[in-house]
């Protein structure tokens, strides 16, 4: 029994610690979950830029998303300070991905 307890403790720790994944980088566009890939020029009953549309949709309850190579990824950390700065624009995004969602570490203009 004394030999079994350390093995069980180790197995429990290993099972509860998430696997560490290396950071990856992607290029694409920061958008919002309401408009996705397509921002209509006058969707909000007035002409606005893609940045303004994305910010307006997020303020209205949509979430930031990342579009790359015809795929849309959820953004885990919606409070990342660079999201609003680069909203609607082409970016290089660095972070970790799990279950089709990206935890962003850096965002730079593409």
> Which residues does 30 contact at the CB level (< 8 Å), separation at least 6?
54, 64, 65, 66, 67, 83, 86, 87, 88, 89, 91, 93, 107
**Domains recognised in the chain with CATH numbers:** 21-109 (2.40.50)
Helices and strands counted in the chain (H then E): 3, 5
Residue 67, classed as helix, strand or coil, is strand
Write down how long the chain is.
Answer: 110
pLDDT at 15: 45
Mean pLDDT (10-residue bins), the chain, 110 residues: 54 49 94 79 71 92 95 96 96 96 96
pLDDT at 14: 45
**Residue carrying structure tokens 């593409």:** 110
Instruction: Look up the pTM and report it.
Output: 0.75
pLDDT at 43: 59
């Amino acid at each position: 029994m004394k030999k079994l307890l350390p093995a069980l403790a180790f197995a429990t720790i290993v099972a509860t610690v998430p696997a560490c994944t290396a950071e990856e980088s992607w290029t694409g566009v920061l958008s919002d979950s309401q408009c996705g890939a397509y921002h209509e020029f006058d969707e909000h009953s007035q002409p606005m830029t893609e940045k303004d549309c994305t910010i307006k949709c997020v303020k209205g309850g949509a979430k930031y998303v990342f579009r790359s190579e015809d795929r849309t990824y959820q953004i885990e950390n919606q409070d990342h300070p660079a999201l609003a700065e680069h909203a609607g624009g082409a970016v290089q995004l660095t972070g970790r991905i799990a279950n089709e969602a990206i935890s962003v570490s850096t965002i730079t203009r593409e």
